[in-house]
A and B are shown apart, each in its own frame.
Chain A
Amino acid sequence: MTFDLGRTSAFAALLIVLAGYWLVFRPLEATLADRYAELDVARASIERRLALARRISPLERERTELETQLRRTHATVSGAESVERFLRDAAAVSARDRVAVESVAGAVGQPAVAVARAPQAVILDELPLDITLRGHYGDVIRAVRDLGNGQVPARLTLASLGVADRRPGERPNINATFHATLLREPDAATLPRLHPL
């Protein structure tokens, strides 16, 4: 067997190239790929932030507008003030729509609760009340519509409606009990953080 210098040196050169590929080129290329990915993420983040920053003025305007709207609906008042305003509404509606408010009661077994559509997204506090109205069928319906459009944001659903006992000299009337749920913004301490849309 003879020593072939050409083949041996070619083999050595091949080994050097392979070692260079495995020990130098591949690790550095991997690091470079990581760096490129990091830069892409950083660039995307900056673009997103700049886009969001451009929305600051419109968002501020919208927030002011929404706060004004909500103040107008008295959704920001305290619980006691909500109830007071609702009772004033009920008295006004009673006089205007010729219905009698037979009773107003805090809904038993339904304490004030926070409405949550999503597990941690408490949007509004609910104050449940039951209100019973007595009057003519059409008048009661009109009164409930007026109460729903009253000063306090409220959701009214029928609990029961039935023929009322006839009192002397009275037209046939109905008694209608509605679940009234007064809606108000939660106190600042319990305000939720919602995920932006």
Chain B
Amino acid sequence: MTETPNLKYLDDLAQGDEGFRKKFIGILKEEFPSEKQCYLDAMENGFFREASEHVHKIKHKLNVLGVHKSYSLAVRHENELRKGGNKYHMDFLSVLSEIEAYLKTI
């Protein structure tokens, strides 16, 4: 991933509301690993269609975290999974790992 996740969107949205900022980061920290695990499980079982649903949810978070190239990759990956292909899986895995690592820092 050549781009760094950031909280610019969140800060704009929060408008100084620290309570919301904390709450939202909490949601990201809780929801992202669970979505990642669901995605991995679906891929492991070859359920590409189901995996695409999880990618769909994850891609919104990529946008929220300002990683737009990764978002584009997720869009392509979601479409490919719907068609039964998984050629972006490894690239997407790398994005997931980067995001997971970032979420541990905030």
A and B form one complex? no
